[in-house]
Structure 1
Amino acid sequence: MKLDVALAVAQGVLAEGQTRHFAPLTVAVLDAGGHTVVLLRSDGSSLLRSQIATGKAYGVLGLGFGGRELAARAAKMPAFFDALIELSDGRMVPVPGGVLVRSADGALLGAVGVSGDTSDNDEICALAAIEATGLVADAG
């Protein structure tokens, strides 16, 4: 994912959160290889939000489907997901708010993770920002 696109998505997430009067958000945008391209936080975003947002994005990249699907599977197979979290050195957070980013032709570009409000609200902001850039969001 190119820096300018990642930055536009991250800024879009924060703007969407402000428009909706959500709690202060933190957003991580990772490329398809799991490298952080952009990490932004709103003023007042709490201490662990950077790690949580990154973990949401990392988890969806690691398994290849969105955070909503990760959460559903984690609820059905908690022991398996405990193992996955251990295998990823604790870097995976299997809840909504992690969204895969794809090009119009379906190519995986990276992932967005958002943390700060409820997981559902975090996901709303990610979806809106990704779609506003003309990319395809996959929340699972």
Structure 2
Amino acid sequence: MPKLSLSQADIIADETLKKGREIKAKPLTVVVLDDGGHYKVVKRDDGCGLLRADIARAKAWGVLGMGQAGRELARRAQSLPVFFSGLAAISGGKLVPLPGGVLIHTPDGELVGSVGVSGDLSEIDEECAVHGVKAAGLVPETGDEA
């Protein structure tokens, strides 16, 4: 059973931040979780706001908890606001249904963790996360219907 290694998590975080700097994103915070929802890596650019790590964790934790990536959760939250309000309550606020929460799979399709990014627009957060996951040789799942 493959696991997300610390070196893979470091690559994801480093490459996510690097992509953010390349595209001139606002300062980003990255949280990488293993498949059990435990922290592997937390990294933040200089100048990040105080809540960014909590938001990034909530994006990563939410996608793991629901088994669906951020874009899909965002779509579902729009159509099921009462359900997602309940989820926010039972999760203690640890679920943010927005792009920027990305599931991480092995090339064989096994779920090994998630990454959450916060700092810029959710779509930019997601773009950077996808880059980081791919740089580690893993497969990102964003919930994009395409």
Q: TM-score, normalised by structure 1?
A: 0.99
Partner Cα distance (2:137, 2:38) in 1: 22
Partner Cα distance (1:7, 1:20) in 2: 20
Q: How does 1:6-25 map to 2 (within 5 A)?
A: 6-25=9-28
Deviation of the 1:65 alpha carbon? 1.0
Deviation of the 1:132 alpha carbon? 1.5
Query: Is the 2:11–2:135 contact (alpha carbons within 8 Å) kept by the matching residues of 1?
Result: no
Please say if 1:60 is aligned against 2:60.
no
The equivalent residue for 2:101 is 98
Partner Cα distance (1:6, 1:134) in 2: 11
The equivalent residue for 2:91 is 88
Alignment gaps of 5+ in structure 2: none
Q: How does 1:67-86 map to 2 (within 5 A)?
A: 67-86=70-89
Query: Is the 2:104–2:113 contact (alpha carbons within 8 Å) kept by the matching residues of 1?
Result: yes
Question: What residue identity is the alignment partner of 1:72?
Answer: R
Query: Is the 2:29–2:118 contact (alpha carbons within 8 Å) kept by the matching residues of 1?
Result: yes
Deviation of the 1:43 alpha carbon? 0.3
1:90-130 C-alpha deviation (Å, 9 max, x unpaired): 10111000000000111111000000000000000001111
Seq. identity, % = 51
Partner Cα distance (1:54, 1:34) in 2: 9
Alignment coverage as a number of residue pairs: 140
Partner Cα distance (1:119, 1:78) in 2: 19
Please say if 1:35 is aligned against 2:38.
yes
1:5-54 C-alpha deviation (Å, 9 max, x unpaired): 00110001000000000000000000000001100000001110000000
Q: Stretches of 4+ moved more than 3 A in 1?
A: none
Correspondence for 1:129 among 108, 112, 132: 132
Deviation of the 1:87 alpha carbon? 1.0
Deviation of the 1:134 alpha carbon? 1.2
Partner Cα distance (1:133, 1:29) in 2: 12
Partner Cα distance (1:103, 1:47) in 2: 32
Query: Is the 2:69–2:103 contact (alpha carbons within 8 Å) kept by the matching residues of 1?
Result: yes
- Measured on the aligned residues, the alpha-carbon RMSD in Å equals 0.5
The equivalent residue for 2:141 is 138
